[in-house]
């Protein structure tokens, strides 16, 4: 039985670890050829090797336009085109409002907003050239649905992702390119160790306590896992979602309803 993504080529940014890696693995199981695109090339190569012949690594720094263009060109040269783009690469920081630095603000927006948009733009241009439509999936966050006292910059960046998804979705559906998003809640990935350490510093908590508390606060009863997001990512990449346009799907164990 053919997989839902049989014959498709997908690019997953930030694909070497966490949710990105889980999506790469899930896409390969559904029959896709998967480009593991990451700034950490050795880890991307290790992930691609672990997945097998369906995957290959591509260097990608979303803060550099030439890197975005080179990555897409490399994928097209190797796999013959691009059918699915998953914008997953992101960074995190937090601080009290009166302590936020320009450097932190610029770094978060450079990756999470500017990098995501210009990767989306380059992917859309390639899909339009091919003339067969495509799927673009942007990873937002529950943080983009609300404000948080210590997380202003990250929250704002993910709110921008939701807005970009809406506008790009409306603009590109005429080319049969579906742009949609996924909004995770709290997810047990290596990034959350960084998040936990930052909360421990500013909220005067023991290491691990914030992570424990947020897990208890999820209606489902635990933090999310990377693999919890694969089903939604496969759905939005497949023909099952052809009539879904400009939406951001909450995959968060019931933390947010919209």
Give 190: exposed, middle or buried? Use CB within 10 Å, 0-12, 13-18, 19+: exposed
Number of Cβ within 10 Å of residue 100's Cβ equals 16
Nearest to 195 by CA among 216, 184, 211, 212: 211
d(CA 39, CA 44): 8
Active site residues: 154
β-partners of residue 136 are: 85, 179
Residue with tokens 């968060």: 252
In the chain, % helix, strand, coil (3-state, to 5) comes to: 50, 15, 30
């Amino acid at each position: 039985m053919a997989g839902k993504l049989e014959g498709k080529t997908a690019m997953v940014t930030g694909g070497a670890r966490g949710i990105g890696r889980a999506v790469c693995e899930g896409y390969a199981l559904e029959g896709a050829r998967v480009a593991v695109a990451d700034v950490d090339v050795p880890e991307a190569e290790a992930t691609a090797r672990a997945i097998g012949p369906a995957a290959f690594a591509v260097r990608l720094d979303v803060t550099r336009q030439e890197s975005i263009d080179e990555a897409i060109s490399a994928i097209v040269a190797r796999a013959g085109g691009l059918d699915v783009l998953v914008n997953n690469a992101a960074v995190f920081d937090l601080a009290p409002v009166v302590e936020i630095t320009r450097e932190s603000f610029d770094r978060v927006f450079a990756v999470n907003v500017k990098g995501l948009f210009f990767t989306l733009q380059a992917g859309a241009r390639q899909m339009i050239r091919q003339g067969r439509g495509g799927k673009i999936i942007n990873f937002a966050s529950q943080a983009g649905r609300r404000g948080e006292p210590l997380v202003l910059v990250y929250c704002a960046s993910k709110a921008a992702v939701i807005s970009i998804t809406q506008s790009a979705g409306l603009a590109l559906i005429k080319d049969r390119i579906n742009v949609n998003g996924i909004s995770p809640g709290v997810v047990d990935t290596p990034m959350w160790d960084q998040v936990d350490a930052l909360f421990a510093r500013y909220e005067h908590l023991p290491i691990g306590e914030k992570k424990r508390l947020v897990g208890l606060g999820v209606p489902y009863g635990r933090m999310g896992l990377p693999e919890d997001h694969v089903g939604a990512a496969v759905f939005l990449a497949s023909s099952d979602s052809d009539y879904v346009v400009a939406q951001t799907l909450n995959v968060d164990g019931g933390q947010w309803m919209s």
